[in-house]
Structures are given as C-alpha cells and as structure tokens.
Structure 1
Amino acid sequence: MGVVLRAVLACAALLVGCSEPKGPAQTSAATDHVSIVHRNCGLRSYVGETDVAVRCLWYSNERSKRFQLPVAILSKPHERNDNTSVLVYIAGGPGDGFQTQADNLEYWLDWYGGSPLEADLLIYNPRGVPGSKPYWYCPEYDQVSLNVMSEKVGFEEEARRAAPVLHACMEGFSARLQAMDLPNYRKLSDFSTEQQARDILGILSALEYEQWHLWGVSYGTRVALKASQLALLVPEQSAKLTSQILDSPYPFNKGVLHEWAALQDNALRLHERNWAKFTRDLSLAAGNDERLIEYLTSFSSFEHLWDSVNAALDAIESEESQKGVNVHDSRLYFHVENGFRHEIATDEQQALPVYTTDHFTFYMSRSRLAALMYFVLYNASLHEQFYAALYELEQLKTVRVSPKNHNINTLLSLFLHSSFDPAFNSFAYFATECTDNPRATAADIERAISQYPAWSEYLTVMQRYDVCAANFFQKTLNTNPLTVDAKLQQPYNVSIPTLILSGENDPVTPREWAEELADTYTNSGGDVTLIRTGGGHGVLHAGWCDFSGMQAWVAHTQGTEVPDTRVAAEQRYCGY
C-alpha cells in the first residue's frame, strides 16, 4: 500500500535468470501441460548427515511457460512415511524469495528431520522473487531508499522522491512482460494471488500424492484460501485437498489502504498493554538501571511515553536546525554496520547496492520511529529493548555528543537488515497487492482520517503517492480500479478442515481478522478450529505453537488418528 521506504533516476525493471534450466528431460507433462525438471539442490554439508531425502525440481506450465519456480520436497524413509500425503509450506510476503535456497533447506532439514511429521514436506519459491526465473529487480529503488533514510526529510518528501523511481520500475517491468509475449498475457496481474494459487495446484497436480495439506503463513494464508477455493472447480483436485493450516491469516477482504491507520492504532494499543506489563515487572526486578526504572514508571501510559519521546525528537531537530548543525553531526544520525556487505551475492543480485554499502546511515524522525515501533511487535523479545531505546532517545535532549546508544543501534540493525533483505522483492509485493486489493476511495480516506486523526498526514500522503493507482495497474484489470478483483472474493472452501492460528500481539494480521474468518467458516457450516496464542505475527515460527502438533492435525484430518476430544485443541495442535 502506498510508497514505502526502500523505494534520482528513472529506471527500467530488469529481468534476470530467464534462460532455460539445465537438467534431465522434463517429465509429468500432464493435461495442464505441466513441466517438472530436476535440478541440483546445492546442498553440501548435509549430504550423508540425515536420513531425510531431498528432491529438487523446476516447475513451469504451458499457460505461463516463462515462469519457472524452484521446488524442494523433503521425505522420510518409507517406514516413517506413508508416501501418499504432502504438506505444502506457503511463505508470507508477498515478495519473499530464496525459499528453496541451500541455506534455507538446511533449516527445513533440521526441523523436518526432528519433527514427528510423517507426510512429505514441499517448499517452493513464488514467481518473480529471488530464486525463481525470471527474477526482476531495480537497484535504483533500493538506492533512493538507502539515500533518503539518511536525510532529515519528512514523510511526504520521502514519498515524493521514491514515487517516480518506483513507478518507473513497475512500468519498466510491465513493458518487459509484454515483450516476453507470454500466453494469456495479463501484465502485472500475472503476480496476483489467483495466479500464485494456480501455481500451487499445478505443482501438486504434477506429483503423485493422494492427500494435500496446505500450510500458509501471513500472506501465504491468502494463497492457501484461494487455492482451496479454486480446487473446488476441479474434481480431481478437490478430492485430494484434505486440510489447510492458516497461521496469522490474511483474508480476502483485508489490506486496503485506508485500513493502514487502524493497524497503526492497533499497534499502539498492543504496546500500551505490553508496556504496562513490562513496567510492572521492571519495578519488581533486581539489577535494572534505576534511572531507566524511574523514567519509564514516571509515565502513566505508553501513550504519554510515546508523546514525550516524539516531542524530544522535535526539540532536538529544532535546536539543531537553529544552530545549523549538519545532519551528519546530529544526535539523531546513526551509523549501523551492514552485514550484507560481507555476504556473497548471487549472480543475479550483484548490482543491488546493499552488497556494496559499508554502513547503513539513518536519521531518526517521527515517521521512522513509528516504523520501528511497528516492527518490534513482530518479535516479543524486542519489546523490552524498544522501551529502553525510547529512554535513550529522550536522553539525547541533554547529551551534546551522541553516546553509543546500545539499544537503539541494536534495534536499528535488525530493522534495517529486515527492510533491505535481498531475499525480499518489493516489486513482487506491489504487483500482488495492487492487483488483489481495491483502491481506497476519497470517502474511505476521509472516514479513516476522522476515526484516526493522529495518522491523517500519513494517510493523505500515502493516497497521493499510491503506486496502486497508477495506469499500468488500472490497465491490467478489466474492472473498475476502485473495486476488488472479482476472482478474489468469498465464498471460501469450507468443505475441508481448517486450523487457524492467531497471536495476540500480531500488528500485521490482527486477531480480529482471524476471529472474523473463523466466524465466516462456522456460519457456513465449515469445520474450523481457531487457536489463540501469545506472541505476534507468525505463531509457529515464533515458537508460540509447537510444530509437533502439525502431525496430530494431519493425522486427524486424514482419518488415520482419532483425536482425544477430552484434550483441548490448544493441547493437541499447539502443545499448551
């Protein structure tokens, strides 16, 4: 939604890795003209160290033959595996890549080998992201983002400078797609959730499994919901689709621009609750900095703390402006070591500036602090450090020479490495979100501003520079750009058992979304289990739900194990 940091020259999006994959002759060219080609997994250290078998493939189909997706299948020895069922992991994003890269496969080998899961595990890379072919990128967008975050500019100036670069990248990529002359060419909507769901069904249809289980996380839940919906149209697929696990669900009717303010407001409310518990525990704990305790407990609420720190930023900026302090000498200017500088870039990514930048430089402003506030909610272990970092920021009012702010620097390092992670493709994100979601009307924005006046400036700017309103998206869909793609609407497929997991501190897909989705299934007669956990976004990966419960879910939904109804679902499928 809108223009984001990581967004001054006009550029054309580049496509790389378009050559045909090397490997044995293609197989499984079934009725959908699917092509499965074997590929090298790239694993070295794990050869002979595990009894888990790994099979790596390239997938493509005749409808979109230029898109080639890497697939990896993990299997256990026959005595530990029924060899007839598969669990498909659908990553979040949209835009997350390198799912089947060797380093990532080593993580999955550890997890899968130690888990009781008996079904095969299938991991794949979505179209248009690092690791897939073609992979597309625009170094100029990353560069302008790196530049602007180090400058003392406001949120609107960030958007104003990033917007033309982002628009040029998206239009350039759209032109390249057209030049590729793809069958059934649909421009940027080739990255819609519907197309990605068809990829999953195509992969599964090319393999000989009798029972399919979908496991989506965040945006991946939307792909799972669409795939299960599409499977209803094909009897052979519907008969094999057995269950779905939706971790931190992203329903069809969410994600519109005007909802952004509600998510920000929800983030502040989550901090309010977490901060109250933190300060209570802080005052009881021994060994804490007495000045930190005194400072934090002097505020009656997180809102008052938040307002005080933002006022401190304003005061520092005003004072330094009056004195003519250079931005590089500002107390709000931070240097953070760039860990990507020491990594070896893939051939496709060598032009990305994140691999050649020695340090991240960052000027702390109100809008960037708000982004950091939102970011730390992803990981509960960062909350305490964030509140201590707010204390450090406030102290900069009276410190004339910037100290080594341990907590601020640590959080900024995590934030910046996440924001500029080469595994993420911002353009695949925009292509998907802008295709899937309806445009916010002026009336929508006005209502959101009325309800959340604190975020009015942000909403106004985001609407003004909304890349989703660009002509290349309006031309993509043969519908009114103010309405959602008709193919991404309910009803959902309620004919299969559905497990929904939701964290109480989720800032991205809040618990209300999960509860609303569960109610929709229940009211439609669906078999749905909703488990509310602690933690934030991504319940399973954050450890708030035991992975071992997935085998219990798979066995139950396949009918190979009768669940003990005396044990609560939380215990059966989450281990608590």
Structure 2
Amino acid sequence: MLYLSTDSARYAMLRQLCFILLLLTQSVVGAQATIESANCAAQPPATKASCGYVSLPQDYADPAAGRVEIYYTQIHSRGDKPDPLVYLVGGPGSSGTQLLPVSYEKYLRAFADKRDIIIIDQRGTGLSTPSLYCREALFRLGDILESSHQEHAELLLEILTDCQRRLARQGLRFDTFHSENNARDVVNALLALGYERWNLVGVSYGSRLALTMMRDFPQYLRSVILDSVYPPQADIYVDAYYNGERALAVLFEACAASRGCNNRYPNLRATFYHVYAQLNEMPLLVEYKPPDSRLLTIEISGYRLYDWVFSWLYEVDAIRMIPKLVYELSRGRTRSAAPMGALFEQSMASLSLGMHYSVQCQEEYGAAQRDYAELVAAHPHLAGFLAYPVEGPTTLPQLCELWGAAARDDNANQPVRSDVPTLLLSGNYDPITPPDYAEMAAETLSSAYSYVLPHVGHAVLRSDECAVDIAVAFIKQPLTEPDSRCIASAQPMRFR
C-alpha cells in the first residue's frame, strides 16, 4: 500500500517518475496526525458513536504554517464490514455534524447495519477549527432581509469584507482552503482512525470533493456515490442561470400536465414571468418577524422572488408549494412566501462563508469570467437579475480579489478519469446540479451507473426512498448494475 509520506526512500523512484502526482497526494499521517477524543455533538438515537479531532497541517507543503483540527463522528456498526461509508457534505461550507441528524434519519442509517458511518466536518466548517464562519452575516441577517434589490449585493460584499478582515487578523491562510486539501484531510483522518479502504457518498459540493479523492487517492476507494453531481469542469456560476431556467421549465411543464395543478394554477409559466416583471417595477413590502428577531420590512422584488424560487426548487416539499406561492404573490398575498424566503436566506448565512468563498474563488472564479452576453440574449429577463446575487458578474471579481485566494492550476477544473465503481444520482428539478452534470462526470468514469429521479430536486438521497434503495444495492455490489426499476413507478409531483 502506498502511504502518503514524503520521507520514505522506498518511493524515491516513484517520486521522480510521478512528481506531480505525489505533490497532489502528499499528506501527513502516523505520528504527525494526532487524535483527541471529544464529546459527540450530534449522535443519532440508538447508535454507538465515537467523536474527536484529528490534528493535521493547515498547509501540507509547509508544516510550520499551523494546524487544522478536523472534527469527526464515527458511528459504529454492528456489522463486520471493514470499509466504512464516509459522508461528504456540500456547500462548500456546510457542516456534516449539523446535517447528521436529518441525513442519518433520511438515508445514512440504511447503510449502518453493515459498516461504520463516518462524518467529517471539512476544514473551516462545523466544529473543526479554525472556523471560517462569517458571524457577521448572522448578526446582520435582518439587514440582509431588509435590503432592496439595488442594495443586496453591495451589502453582502460589505459583510463579507468585514468577515475576511477579521479572519485575516487571525493569521488564516485562505489559499489553504480548497478541495485538494479537503481530500487530504479526509484521507489522513480515516487512516488515523485505522481504516484502509472506504466508500464515499458525496452530496453537491461533496460530490466534487469525492471526485477529487477519486483523482488523487483512488487506491483507498471501494466505491463512490455522487448525489447531485458537481463535476470540476462545470462552470457553475454562469451555468446556474441556464440551469435555473431549465428547472423552472420542468416545474411549469409538470404543473401543466397535472390536472389538479393546471386547474388551480393555469398558465403558470406566463403568470410567473408576469409577477417577476411586475415586482421589479413595483416591489411588495411585507412585515415579517423571524423568531428571536425584530420586526422586519422585506422588499419582495422580482429578483428576490427569482432567487427564492431557485432555492425552493432544491426541496420536494417546497417545489409542491411553488405554484400556490406564485399565484398568491400575483394577488398581492405574501403570508406564505415571506417566511419561506427568509428561511432560505437564513440558511445561506449559516454556511461557513469564509470556507465557501476560499474554495470557490480558487476553483470557480477563473471559469466564471465568460461573456454573459450569450446568457442575456437567450434569457433577456435575467439581465437585471445578474446584479442581484453577490456571485454575479458585477461583484464576484471584487469578492474574490478581496478574499485573496487566487485561482488554482487548471487541474482543479479538469474532468476526473477513474475506474472506481461509481453511482451518480440526479434530481430532475435540481436547479444547480442538473442531470447533465452527472452525464458530464460519467463520460470519464469507466465503471459508472447514472440515474435521474424524476420528481426530486437537490440532494436526492435525502428526498427519495427509491434512490436510497438503489444506493444500498450499489454499495453491496459496486461492480453490478443496481436494480433501478423503482424509478419507473415513481408517483408524479403532488402540488399543493
């Protein structure tokens, strides 16, 4: 077995022949990766778990640059399979620990009878330290919600500037927070815990992290599940607008094909774009009081509505509500839309935004500098919306210049070629990682099975029992095509 160490003369020849590969796979294990046990912050009921921190270098090329303490949860199985299932969450910037209770209840427990389940808070997230959370975003959530569409991106840029300056004063190296180091952390943590081989389930950005591990550390991987696939060659910032329009078209067509939805909400497509234009001309003002907050006055512009609907397309329960919410807004009713939209904006503020933009500015910003003229020509109604999100073409360059995490080499955006058995799962309503992304990734994976769940949005395993059944069958026998007949019997979307 190839141990990830630069000290052994045993691999001198391999270093000479594969110098670049070894740069990618350098890690510190053994004496330099120390484990300290800790209380479990999110142990699912009726499970036996161990938790703690694995201490690893912040910069694998410069051990003197300090340490990161990676928090893990190890759920012990009653089974005897030696290869655990490792859960990689998305974002980038989400916390595996925070998402564990729901994820375990929804699908991870389906694997727990045979093998251990490992959850790792990626560097900069969750209980791992140092933390790259931007508490400034949570402190000013009320200001974010009350910002007009003209103020929104600039306010977020101001908040992120304050966050970056605070974190920089702590001596953090933003250029060390990227997918390659995330992959090294996961590998070294698992080796330190005594595992020699494992299975991955990566969701959203977690699928990109899993693909990075497939590229850099294939020798440790028995199988990989990619849920809501985010391939490194995708241009996600520009694609997001096209992908959002695609998902909206799926929604409009499904409502038109549903007798109940079409009777209650006829001409949903035309109604949505009419409301979008109308709210941009004359936004609605609605009073809303979040829990533990002051009374807020939220401006619902068409741009904010579009942003909210985009986010609602992630979740099945929210998708079912979209036609009703659009029609309510067309009649000036805001009682349902405002709380759902505010919840979305609050969830974004709870990401580790420092980790998020450290990764994205290094791995996505260069690819995002495409000409937006083609996009606007295809979808003219998006011309004004481009200035609304902080990741838009106006403010993203300022944000990434501020963050000081320069674009990485081209390898970070190249397709991953791998022979590791891989299951790819996509939701037809997904507005951010569409089924096309799974097909894009599968083109260079020699042992891949790809399935589209027709009535699901983002994070398929969390939403669809059929997908869980397919995944369980795949993990049992990764070299055999899993039984996917349940997809054909999926019930149509039931709109409210």
TM-score by structure 2 length? 0.81
On the 8 A contact 2:460/2:467 being kept in 1, the answer is: no
Look up the match of 1:86: 84
Q: Please, which of 147, 152, 157 is the counterpart of residue 158 of structure 1?
A: 152
Q: Which residue of structure 2 aligns with residue 353 of structure 1?
A: none
4+ runs deviating over 6 angstroms: 572-576
Please, which of 528, 532, 544 is the counterpart of residue 448 of structure 2?
Answer: 528
Paired residue for 1:70?
71
- Provide the rounded CA distance (Å) in 2 between the counterparts of 1:312 and 1:469: 31
Q: What is aligned with 1:222? A: 208
**Could you say what the CA RMSD is over the residues aligned between the two structures, in angstroms?**
3.1
- Residues 230 and 437 in structure 2, CA contact (< 8 A), matched pair in contact too: yes
The 8 Å contact of residues 163 and 467 in structure 1, kept in 2 or not, is answered as: no
Letter in 2 for 1:94: P
CA–CA separation in structure 1 for the residues paired with 2:113 and 2:144 = 47
Q: Which amino acid aligns with 2:115?
A: A
Matching residue of 1:272? 252
Deviation at 1:374, TM superposition (A): 0.7
Aligned to 2:118: 122
Query: Per-residue deviation at 1:530?
Result: 0.6
Which moved further from structure 2: 458-467 or 362-371? Answer: 458-467
- Does residue 427 of the first structure (1) align with residue 380 of the second (2)? no
Q: Return the offset for 1:93.
A: 0.8
Equivalent in the alignment of 1:39 = 38
Deviation of residue 89 (structure 1)? 0.3
What is the number of residues matched between the two proteins? Answer: 453
Please give the alpha-carbon distance, in whole angstroms, between the structure 2 residues aligned to 1:173 and 1:125. 19
1:456 aligns with 2:422: no
| C-alpha distance 45-169 of structure 1, shift in aligned 2 (>3 A) | closer
User: Aligned in 2, Cα 1:555/1:468: closer, same or farther, shift over 3 Å?
Assistant: farther
Assess if the C-alpha contact under 8 Å between 1:256 and 1:439 holds in 2: no
Cα distance in 2 for residues equivalent to 1:144 and 1:43: 27
Alpha-carbon distance, 1:201 to partner: 1.0
- 1:430 match: secondary structure: helix
Could you tell me whether the CA contact under 8 Å between 1:86 and 1:120 is conserved in 2? yes
Structure 1 residues not aligned, in runs of 5+? 1-28, 179-186, 233-237, 285-292, 318-330, 342-356, 397-402
**Residue correspondence of structure 1 range 45-444 to structure 2 within 5 A:** 46=45, 50=46, 52-62=47-57, 64=59, 65-77=66-78, 80-82=79-81, 84-97=82-95, 99-100=96-97, 104-105=100-101, 108=104, 115=111, 117-151=113-147, 153-154=148-149, 156-178=150-172, 187-232=173-218, 238=219, 240-278=220-258, 280-282=259-261, 293=264, 296-297=265-266, 299=267, 302-314=268-280, 316-317=282-283, 332-338=285-291, 341=292, 357-359=293-295, 361-396=297-332, 405-412=334-341, 414-420=343-349, 422=350, 424-439=351-366, 444=371
- Whether 2:476 is the aligned partner of 1:555: answer yes
TM-score by length of 1: 0.71
User: Which AA in structure 2 matches 1:195?
Assistant: N
Contact 2:134/2:353 (<8 A) preserved? no
Cα pair distance change 1:171/1:450, threshold 3 Å: farther
Q: Which residue number in structure 2 is paired with residue 354 of structure 1?
A: none
Rate the CA distance shift 1:536–1:491 in 2: closer, same or farther, 3 A: closer
Is the contact between residue 86 and residue 212 of structure 1 (CA under 8 Å) also seen in structure 2?
yes
Cα distance change, pair 384–528 in 1 and its aligned pair in 2 (3 A): closer
Superposed displacement of residue 464, structure 1? 2.0
| Corresponding position of 1:19 | none
Distance 2:488 2:474 in 1: 10
Unaligned runs of 5+ in 2: 1-27, 60-65, 491-496
Deviation at 1:519, TM superposition (A): 2.2
In the alignment, which residue of structure 1 is the partner of 2:24?
none
Amino acid at match of 1:88: V
The answer to which of 63-72 and 544-553 deviates more is 544-553
**TM-aligned CA deviation for residue 206 of structure 1:** 1.4
Task: Kindly state the Cα deviation for residue 203 of structure 1 after the two structures are TM-superposed.
Answer: 1.1
Flag the 1:371–1:532 CA change in 2: closer, same or farther, 3 A. Answer: same
Distance (whole Å) between structure 1 residues aligned to residue 204 and residue 420 of structure 2: 20
Identify if the C-alpha distance between structure 1 residues 426 and 575 changes in structure 2 by more than 3 Å, giving closer, same or farther: farther
1:109 CA drift (Å):
7.2
Secondary structure of the equivalent of 1:464?
coil
Match of 1:324 in 2: none
Query: Aligned partners of 2:342, 2:387: CA distance in 1, in Å?
Result: 30
Output one character per residue of 1:49-94: Cα deviation in whole Å (capped at 9) or x when no partner: x3x42111211224555211111111222xx323x11110001111
Is the alpha carbon distance of 1:244 and 1:169 closer, same or farther for their aligned partners in structure 2, counting shifts above 3 Å?
A: same
The letter for the 2-side match of 1:337 is P
Letter in 1 for 2:452: R
Cα offsets for 1:313-359 (capped at 9, x unmatched): 35655xxxxxxxxxxxxx53131432xx3xxxxxxxxxxxxxxx245
**Residue identity in the other structure for 1:55:** S
> Is the CA contact (8 Å cut-off) linking 1:144 and 1:162 kept in structure 2?
no
Q: Report if the CA contact (8 A) 1:34-1:206 is conserved.
A: yes
**CA displacement, residues 389-422 of structure 1 (integer Å, 9 cap, x when unaligned):** 22222222xxxxxx7x5432453354344344x3
Q: Aligned pair in 2 of structure 1 residues 218, 458: CA closer, same or farther (>3 Å)?
A: same
Q: Deviations over 1:444-484 (max 9, x none)?
A: 223333333321233356222115664355x543xxx5xx5
- State the Cα distance separating 1:113 from its structure 2 match: 5.2
Q: Could you tell me how far 1:220 is from its partner in structure 2? A: 0.0
* 1:328 corresponds to: none
Secondary structure, counterpart of 2:200 in structure 1: strand
Tell me if structure 2 keeps the 8 A contact 1:336–1:413: no
For residues 213 and 369 of structure 2, the distance between their equivalents in structure 1, rounded to whole angstroms, comes to 33
Corresponding residue SS for 1:569: coil
For residue 305 of structure 1, report the CA deviation from its aligned partner: 0.7
